[in-house]
Amino acid sequence: MSFFDHKDFDNHEQVTFFTDPKTGLKAIIAIHNTTLGPSLGGTRFYPYASDEDALTDVLRLSRGMTYKSAMARLPLGGGKSVIIGNPKTDKTPELLRSFAQSLNRLGGRYIAAEDSGTSVADMKIIHETSNHVSGYHEKKDAHGGNKSGDPSPATAYGCYLGIKAAVKHRLNLDTLKGLTVGIQGLGNVGYRLAEMLAKDGVKIVACDINDEALSKAEAELGATIVSLEDIYSAEMDVFAPCALGASVNLATVDKLTASIIAGSANNQLDTLSTGELLHARNICYAPDYVINAGGIIDVCYEQIGQYDPAAVNKHIEGIYDTLMEIFQRSAADNIPASHLADTIARERLAEKHPVVEFKQTA
């Protein structure tokens, strides 16, 4: 099969493969679109079953980053990188420095950040060799304290607001109290989201491959723990996918009891037709790259060089309004929310008018 015929190739500007036998680095960096600015996206370190799976992931994720930045009105393009391997056993400082050299070869067209399998500490190691990385600065939080470069709290906050928007639209409720949310994945974002929801009186149903995270959620948040397979059929009002992608598909939709899907995972839908299925079944879907944009907003303001927690939070709070626009237009025009979000993102790309000025820092 020709690369250009790949089902997830979407006129990407550049896709580059990097290897370093000395450190074991095997990486792919995909730059989807730089219309609004340099591409920025996380570096995912994951033991893909095949190189084809890694390529598919980086192509889909980079396209999602283009639309995510456009929907959030950021002066950034869309890009993503994947490192093939097990982060627990294969990740070394030498490998990360080799990856940093790969970033340098792209000359700033792609800026890396934290993602699944990488951390703030990893970004700091990468920054030893490359300036084309973000998410490593210490900065002030909204309460005047210090916070790390981890964008997870911002992503969780945006997701929390997105759930409130979906509940307002689909259930016509101004409160989350008494509702049940099923959270698939209690990682950095998923657990923080669970904490926010629990404070609002939400009942949490959760699953994860990490038994320690499950025990903590059960003890601290009163969460009901279910298996990975049973999360879909559990009784809940909102299903929040917060793990890896493609968890919303024909098989799982048939099991769902929730009338809302709103979570932080990227590429939640396995295919475009699944978005049509959700619309036909009157399931309110919050498009993933809209609801999970809090992290990229946080990282973008870090890149500007003047991190203002109040300005960041205000920008993240715009996620609520953007989702309400999508939900309302979807209902009025009888168009799946997933399709409509793509349309609006392309409209915003065409406008070429982000709301903050980008200035890359060293």
What would the pLDDT profile of 309-350 be if each residue is shown by its tens digit?
899 999 999 999 999 999 999 999 999 999 999 999 998 888
Q: Do 102 and 45 fall into the same domain? A: yes
Domain of residue 299, CATH code: 3.40.50.720
Q: Do 129 and 273 fall into the same domain? A: no
Domain-located, residue 208: yes
Q: Do 113 and 53 fall into the same domain? A: yes
What would the pLDDT profile of 160-188 be if each residue is shown by its tens digit?
999 999 999 999 999 999 999 999 999 99
Q: Do 327 and 212 fall into the same domain? A: yes
Q: Do 21 and 104 fall into the same domain? A: yes
Number of domains in the chain: 2
Domain-located, residue 356: no
**At residue 332, what is the residue type?**
A
Domain of residue 54, CATH code: 3.40.50.10860
What would the pLDDT profile of 267-320 be if each residue is shown by its tens digit?
999 999 999 999 999 999 999 999 999 999 998 888 877 688 899 999 999 999
What would the pLDDT profile of 190-228 be if each residue is shown by its tens digit?
999 999 999 999 999 999 999 999 999 999 999 999 999
The yes-or-no answer on residue 352 being catalytic is no
- Picking from 46, 103, 97, the residue whose alpha carbon sits closest to that of residue 79 is 103
pLDDT band at 90 (very low <50, low <70, confident <90, very high): very high
* pLDDT higher than threshold 70 for residue 58: yes
Residue 7 or residue 110, greater confidence = 110
Q: Do 178 and 276 fall into the same domain? A: yes
Active-site hit among 26, 68, 80, 164: 80
Which range of residues forms the domain containing residue 83? 3-63+77-136
Domain-located, residue 132: yes
